[in-house]
Amino acid sequence: MKKANMLLDKEFVIGKIDNRIYGSFIEHLGRAVYNGIYEPGHASADEDGFRQDVMDLVKALKVPIIRYPGGNFVSGYNWEDGIGPLELRPKKLDLAWRTLETNEIGINEFAKWSKKVDAEVMMAVNLGTRGIAEACNLLEYCNHPQGTYYSDLRIKHGYLEPYKIKTWCLGNEMDGPWQIGHKTPMEYGRLALETGKAMKLIDPTIELVSCGSSNTAMPTFPEWEATTLEHTYDVADFISLHQYYGNRDNDTSNFLALSMDMDNFIQTVISTCDYVKAKKRSKKTINLSFDEWNVWFHSNASDDDTMKNNPWQKAPALLEDAYTFEDALLVGCMLITFIKHADRVKMACLAQLVNVIAPIMTENNGGAWKQTIFYPYLHASLYGRGIALNPIITTPKYDAKDFTDVPYLEATAVYNEENQEVTIFAVNRDLEEDMLLACDFRSFKDYELIEHLVLACNDLKAYNTLENQPVIPSNKGRSKVDHGRLETVLGKASWNVIRLGTQKK
């Protein structure tokens, strides 16, 4: 059995974790909104048509913030189409996904749903087909208390209280040629600066996210970040990062190493932000909003076919990836990567939340179930709050097709001072062998084992359906604690959550 060691100390601090790294995303896309969160005829629908079975699953995840309404969708969206009396709302072509948008759900309904699931809204504005005026009007509609055209319009629509939405994205993936209204970095930088400047005049309490690159393979990365930030640095608070991975070559050892690419992406964006900071002699630090991330590749071919050959449907099945067990392992590694960068990654959104590349799936008129990736996301959201620690780890390594020195053990630890708990998150990337991990955590006096949760499965390609759930966690992890030392066996190819605390359960 391979062996790894870990030294954990209270004093080895990376930084306070911003709970918003456990955010998610709902786009007007496929069955995310219609027949996802909203299905008025469903047996579990509440008085507003929202599925309560879905809300219960979202609430279980304790999702702190949800990005809305896109995504690519936002770059062609007229937010005014989704407000006011339902019968007057226009049906429109959504050019991003070539579907029919009925506008039954708009800003007010989404804000209502978010409140029901205890999440904040992260709102994106359209900088594709629209600009400064429309973004300002939307902000006035949402956040201004009363006495102006748009705030009074909101009140007229039945929403007296302003939403006080704090976080706003200045467009979406504006570097991507697929984006409606795609821009050069100069064009985007200028527009984002002027839009952000005007928005902060309306509400100086908001935080703004400047668009970064759509992924590491973009030819304009990282020049896009450097050029756009030269414009937006003073007005922006965050820069966005997006990244999706897939096991396209069916090479799992290489696939599981992809979080190293994500780590490198984060480090490069931090360096670029700090380069612009130095160039501008600025005292301000820009933080990172990794506001789209996940595994996404299973559904690519069928989606291309639907969009090309069967366009303009209402809520077709799009991006409905059925997530395998190995996908959940990579999602676990990606979550660990965020925790390791807790000092600069302050927001992140698992893309997406329901039906569309999602941890939660539904059947129209039927049940809802948890995909494999639901579990690492759940565990990190529940137990990954507090202070990110920097454990000193020694681990055996391997070489994969695209990466050298891949640690077999991917791990991090979080200290929750309030609950007097420390949680170790660990993935054993070894597909053949279990691993023995010895951890010295003696600075946490009198801490004992609470539980060791494990997600493991003999079949890397197993996935969950409504009827059959082969990938579910157990609390039967093999851990022993004795006087500040933990000895644990991390099963081959497994996600582990080892909870230590002063309250033995």
Residues that bind ligand AHR (CB under 6 A): 27, 70-72, 172-173, 214, 292, 351-352
Catalytic residue among 39, 80, 292, 451: 292
Per DSSP bridges, beta strands 238-245 and 207-210 are parallel
Q: How far apart are the first and last CA of the chain?
A: 30
Whichever of 290 and 441 has its CB closer to ligand AHR, that residue is 290
Burial of 276: CB neighbours in 10 Å, binned 0-12, 13-18, 19+ = buried
Q: Which is nearer to ligand AHR, 128 or 386 (CB)?
A: 128
Q: How far is the CB of 332 from ligand AHR (least distance, A)?
A: 20
Shortest distance in whole angstroms from residue 215 CB to ligand AHR: 8
Q: State which residue has the least CB distance to ligand AHR.
A: 71
- DSSP lists the bridge partners of residue 368 as 362
| CB 421 to ligand AHR: min, Å | 33
CB-wise, 198 or 307, nearer to ligand AHR? Answer: 307
The verdict on whether omega for the bond into residue 407 sits within 30 degrees of 0, i.e. cis, is no
Query: Residue 128 or 477: which CB sits closer to ligand AHR?
Result: 128
Q: Is 464 left (phi over 0), alpha (psi -120 to 50) or beta?
A: beta
Cβ pair 384, 411 in contact under 8 A: no
d(CA 403, CA 237): 33
Is 230 considered catalytic here? Answer: no
Cα dihedral sign, 202-205-206-209: positive
Of the two residues 179 and 195, which places its CB atom closer to ligand AHR in the complex?
Answer: 179
Number of other residues whose CB lies within 10 A of the CB of residue 330? 29
Q: Are 19 and 386 in contact (CB under 8 A)?
A: no
Closer CB to ligand AHR, 13 or 317, in the complex: 317
- Taking the complex as a whole, the smallest distance from the CB of residue 451 to ligand AHR amounts, in Å, to 34
- Is 292 among the residues known to form the active site? yes
Q: How far is the CB of 167 from ligand AHR (least distance, A)?
A: 16
Catalytic-labelled residue, pool 101, 134, 173, 451: 173
For residue 329, the SS3 value is helix
User: What contacts 415, CB < 8 A, 6 or more positions away?
Assistant: 10, 386, 387, 389, 421, 422, 444
List the one residue out of 182, 174, 248 whose CA is nearest residue 214: 174
User: Residue 292 or residue 451: which is nearer to ligand AHR going by CB?
Assistant: 292
The three-class DSSP label of residue 109 is helix
Under DSSP, the state recorded for 486 is: E
Question: At its nearest, how many Å lie between ligand AHR and the CB of residue 180?
Answer: 11
Cα(501)–Cα(505) distance, integer angstroms: 9
Closest separation between CB of residue 130 and ligand AHR, Å?
Answer: 17
Instruction: Answer yes or no: are the C-beta atoms of 72 and 244 closer than 8 Å.
Output: no
Please give the Cα distance from 262 to 323 (Å, whole number).
19
Phi then psi for residue 94, to 5 deg, are -95, 110
Write out the catalytic residue numbers.
173, 292
